[in-house]
Amino acid sequence: SRLTQHTKTHHPFIVKEAIPSTNTFALNSFSSFEEGSVILAHHQTKGKGRLGRQWSATMGKSIALSLVLRPTIDSQSLPLFTQLTAAALCQALKAYGDTQIKWPNDIVLNGKKVAGILIESQFQENRLEGLVIGIGINTHLEPDDFEDSLLHKATSLKIETKQTVDPNVIIADFLIEFDQFYTDWLETRQTFPFISLCKKESALLGKEIHVYSPNEPPKTATVKDINEKGELIVHYQGHAQLTPLQSLDFSVRN
Ligand code: BTN
């Protein structure tokens, strides 16, 4: 099985009480963190979401972690890591219900967002030094912790399972899944193992979506595929050809 094929990956843990953001913390002292380091915070005061959004992390009610990696890759491979991470996180959260991946970076549980991924990269003199994979998981949030406008779109593991969950188990399960996909990819550079999972568990495949790109009105499209580069292949209404979307430039809503 995949489990026995690979050497173990080392994960030094750095645990903080309260910091602005685990991603910012990792990027600010990037050179001091070795490959595989995991930065965890009980509380984030300035958590970052994708596309400049905010991500609040309430004390003890969610997991906020950043994983530091230093693979030798060019920056074109960066979007792949969002898909690799999403596949691993989706697998790790399977135990709590019906999880799906909403391309590019959300994990939904029973149809509502339960976790998000924000990958940031570190450049040193125009060379990619490494990346920081930020993950936020709503573990113990209660309905009252969400703004009313978010309640129909977001949830927590506790709300969905009606049980308290163990964050350590979730983090360990995520790292096990991640390490398998990551070491496999480093060896083979094959994206199939995690992309096929992203497709199988996709919340968007075959659906109609609205694509938001900067300075343009939203466009309606049907999702046809996710390709080996992790791009979302869509069919815009009234277009003859299919269009690949790269995760960095778009936001999609259904
Ligand atoms: C999103 O859904 O937009 C991505 C959310 C990512 C949040 C995590 S929490 C840990 C890490 N540190 C941050 O500031 N953001 C990520």
pLDDT in tens, 111-129: 999 999 999 999 988 889 9
DSSP-assigned letter for residue 202: B
Say how many Å lie between the CA of residue 55 and the centre of ligand 1.
6
Confidence of residue 6 (pLDDT cuts 50, 70, 90): very low
Site to probe by mutation for ligand 1, drawn from 118, 247, 253 as the one with most ligand atoms within 8 Å of Cβ, is: 118
**Helix, strand, coil distribution of the chain in percent, nearest 5:** 30, 35, 35
Q: What is the pLDDT of residue 25?
A: 98
Q: What is the pLDDT of residue 83?
A: 97
Q: What is the pLDDT of residue 247?
A: 73
Say how many Å lie between the CA of residue 120 and the centre of ligand 1.
10
Which residue from 173, 10, 185 is spatially nearest to 81, judged by alpha carbons? 185
Q: What is the pLDDT of residue 57?
A: 67
Contacts of 10 (CB under 8 A, 6+ apart): 34, 35, 36
Q: How far is residue 212's CA from residue 214's CA, in Å, rounded to a whole number? A: 7
Which residue from 239, 196, 241, 232 is spatially nearest to 211, judged by alpha carbons? 232
Site to probe by mutation for ligand 1, drawn from 44, 45, 48 as the one with most ligand atoms within 8 Å of Cβ, is: 48
Which residue from 11, 241, 39 is spatially nearest to 133, judged by alpha carbons? 39
Say how many Å lie between the CA of residue 89 and the centre of ligand 1.
13
| Higher pLDDT pick, 78 / 174 | 174
Q: How far is residue 115's CA from residue 107's CA, in Å, rounded to a whole number? A: 5
pLDDT in tens, 197-250: 999 999 999 999 999 888 889 899 999 999 999 999 999 988 999 999 987 667
The number of beta carbons lying within 10 Å of the beta carbon of residue 236 is 14
Distant-in-sequence contacts of 53-60, Cβ < 8 A, 24+ apart = 55/116, 55/118, 55/136, 57/136, 58/141, 58/145, 59/18, 60/140
Among protein residues, the one with the nearest Cα to ligand 1's atom 10 is 64
**Complex ipTM over 0.85:** yes
Q: What is the pLDDT of residue 50?
A: 84
Task: Name 99's bridge partners.
Answer: 109
Say how many Å lie between the CA of residue 6 and the centre of ligand 1.
29
Q: Which two tokens stand for residue 140?
A: 């113990």
Strands (E), 103-242: 106-109, 112-124, 127-138, 208-212, 219-226, 232-236
Give the burial string for 18-49 (b: 16+ CB within 10 Å, else e).
ebebbbbbbbeebeebeebbbbbbbbbeebbe
Please list every protein residue whose CB sits less than 6 Å from any atom of ligand 1.
21-23, 44, 47-50, 53, 55, 57, 64-66, 105-106, 116-118, 134-136
pLDDT in tens, 23-53: 999 999 999 999 999 999 999 999 999 877 8
Task: State mean pLDDT over 182-210.
Answer: 96
Confidence of residue 152 (pLDDT cuts 50, 70, 90): confident
Count the residues in the chain: 254
Q: What is the pLDDT of residue 212?
A: 86
Label the pairing between strands 106-109 and 38-44.
unpaired
Provide the residue type at 185 as one letter: W
Say how many Å lie between the CA of residue 1 and the centre of ligand 1.
32
What domains lie within the chain, and their CATH numbers?
2-200 (3.30.930.10), 208-253 (2.30.30)
